[in-house]
Every structure is written in C-alpha cells, then in structure tokens.
Structure 1
Amino acid sequence: MKQLKLKNGQNLTIRTAKKEDALNLIRYVNKIGGESDFLTFGDNEFNITIEKEEAILESHIGVENKIYLIAEIENEIAGSLNYSGRARQRTKHTGEFGISVAKRYWGLGIGKELIKYMIDWAEKGNVVRKINLRVREDNETAINLYTKLGFKKEGIISREFYIDGKYYSSIFMGLEIN
C-alpha cells in the first residue's frame, strides 16, 4: 500500500485489489466507460457478474506476474490498473496492462502514480522484465505520460478501435525492466 497527497491536497491510497472490491469495481468501470472514448469499452459495456469479477480479482492474488491496483480517494475508486503476465514459461516475463482514472480526477497525477507503483513492483520481483501497453494513436496525454516514464513506441496496430463510424489505430509501447 502507498499513500500520498495529490496536487489538489486530497489523500490518495494505492493498494492491491481484493475480492471484496468486485462490486465497486464493476460500478466504477461502468461509470468510466461513458467518460472517455480512449477505453476499449463504452458506457455500460462492462457486463460482468460479481462472481466473475471476484474470480478475476482472486486470480491476481499471490501470482508473481499479475497485479491489480486500485487508487482510492476517501474510500472511492478514483483509478485502477491491471497488469497480467503471460502463462507460459517462455513468455511469463512479459505482459500488458490497462489503466483508467475517473474523469473527475484527471490531471492530478493518479495515472502516473499507479504506473510508478506497477514499475516498482516489477523491479522488486524476479519475473516481470517487460511491460507492454496499447494506447490509441490520438491520446497524446497518455502517450506523453508513458514516454516520460520510460516506455518506448514499438509498433502500430491499425484499426484497433471503431468509434462513431471512424477507425483508430493503437500504438504499441513497452518498457524493459532490468
């Protein structure tokens, strides 16, 4: 767990998610789906049962190449990050993460803190040596953040998003962990 003060003076807690967070995470994800077109899902498209979400959360507990983080302000989920490493021996050192921050908390550094927490976790462990992500090509704010944190552009995935009649490509980025 990590606690810090944000730019606006509010206290932020970053912690690993637990099974009991399932319902609040479902509510959070359904809410943020309508706040940004940069996510892989839209408003109320995250149709998952509490039991399924609990199973996902439990699947991250105690696994050396998976982490599910929650950022909270006054016991409200303000952001989340989910990193999943691959299952096979030859590729378990690499994986991909997804991150989101509720719109009302944009610009406060929550995403940056979640990513720094994940990087620190990877550096302290003995397994994860490559962190990957995909970001929509026009999400300049996110691309700038990832670049500042050491991620490098590695490729383009064309037509990965289709929103309001328009296709968008994704940029594939990666960070090597020493």
Structure 2
Amino acid sequence: MNYQLLRNGQMLTIREAKHEDASMFLDYISKVGAETDNLTFGEGEFGISEEEEANFIKSLAKSDNQLMVCAFLDGKLVGQLVFRGGLRQRVRHTGEFGITVLKEHWHKGVGSELINYLITWARKSIIIRKINLRVRSDNHNAINLYKKYGFISEGAITREFFINGKFFDSIHMGLEID
C-alpha cells in the first residue's frame, strides 16, 4: 500500500486491486461512467459481470507487465488506473493505461498520484519501456496533467469517439521509460 497526502490535507491510499474488489469496482465504474463523456464508455455501457471483472483482476495480478490500482479516501474508492501491457514478446515492453477519478474528487491530486504510482512501477520493472494513453482532444485538463508527467503527443485519431451524435478526436500520447 502507498499513502500520499493530497493538497487538501486528505490522506490518499493507493493499492493494487484484488479480485474480491470486483463488485465494488463495478459500482464505481457505473458511477464514473455516468459522470463524464471523457471515457470510452458511458452510463450502463461497461457490460462486464462481477465474475468477469474478478477474473480480469486475477489475470492482471498474475502478469508481470500489467497493473490495476485503486485510490481510496476515507475507505471510499475514488480513483482507478488500469495498465495493460502487450501480450506478445515483441510488444511486452509497452502498454496503454486508462484512468478514472470520481468527479467530486477532480483537481485534488488523485489522478496525479495514480499516474505517479504507474510511472514508479514501470521504472522499477525490467519490462516496461513505454507507457501509452489516448485522451479526447478537448480534455485539456487531462492533457495538461499528462504533459506534467512528461507524456508527449504522438498523433491524433479523428472521430475516435461518437457521443450524443457528435464525433470527437483523440490524441495519442506516450512516455518512454529509461
């Protein structure tokens, strides 16, 4: 477990996910999916059973190039990060992450601490040499956060998202780990 003091004085706890957390994660994902249009899924679209989620967490825990961590404030799940490394030998060194934070906890440093945890984990590994992400091109707060940690823009994909009848582009960003 990792403990970090946030800007507002609250103590954030970050730990790796356990398969017993599956139900809690699904409740969290349901809530976060309804709060923002910045994700690849919306309200009710996640579509995974508790058993599937538990098996997913187990598979990540067995892997040496994948990670799922969660952030808690006062025992409540407020953020989550999932990093999925490549499955084949030629791409095991790289992967992509997704991150979510409950809207009521935006701008408190939760996302920063989750990203910092990921980068520290990747640097300690002997496998991960590149971290990738995708972000909606109009999500300037997230883009600025990623840039703060050294991620650079590596290109854009047009029409990556289709939300409420409107297309949105995404920016692909990456961080080389040396």
Q: TM-score of the superposition, structure 1-length normalised? A: 0.98
Aligned-partner residue type, residue 94 of structure 2: T
How far residue 121 of structure 1 moved from its aligned partner, in angstroms, is 0.3
Unaligned runs of 5+ in 2: none
Structure 1 match to 2:45: 45
1:104-123 equivalences in 2 (<5 Å): 104-123=104-123
The 5-angstrom pairing of residues 66-145 of structure 1 reads 66-145=66-145
Q: Per-residue CA shift, 1:30-68, capped at 9, x if unaligned?
A: 001111110111112122111000011001113211000
Query: Structure 1 stretches of 5 or more lacking a match?
Result: none
Corresponding residue of 2:58? 58
Contact 2:4 2:113 in 1 (8 A): no
Q: Which of the two has greater helix per residue?
A: 2
d(CA) in 2 for partners of 1:152, 1:135: 12
Q: Distance in 2 between matches of 1:48 and 1:166?
A: 26
Give the Cα separation in 2 of the matches to 1:104 and 1:44: 20
Does the 8 A contact of 1:14 with 1:69 survive in 2? yes
- Which residue of structure 1 aligns with residue 146 of structure 2? 146
> How far apart, CA to CA, are the structure 2 residues paired with 1:21 and 1:53?
9
Superposed CA RMSD:
0.7
Shift of 1:107: 0.5
Deviation at 1:141, TM superposition (A): 0.1
Deviates more, 1:133-142 or 1:36-45: 36-45
The runs of at least 4 consecutive aligned structure 1 residues that moved more than 6 Å come to: none
Moved more, 6-15 or 27-36: 6-15
Q: What is aligned with 1:20?
A: 20
In the aligned structure 2, how far is the partner of 1:62 from the partner of 1:12? 25
Q: Which amino acid aligns with 2:116?
A: K
For residues 15 and 68 of structure 2, the distance between their equivalents in structure 1, rounded to whole angstroms, comes to 8
Count of aligned positions: 178
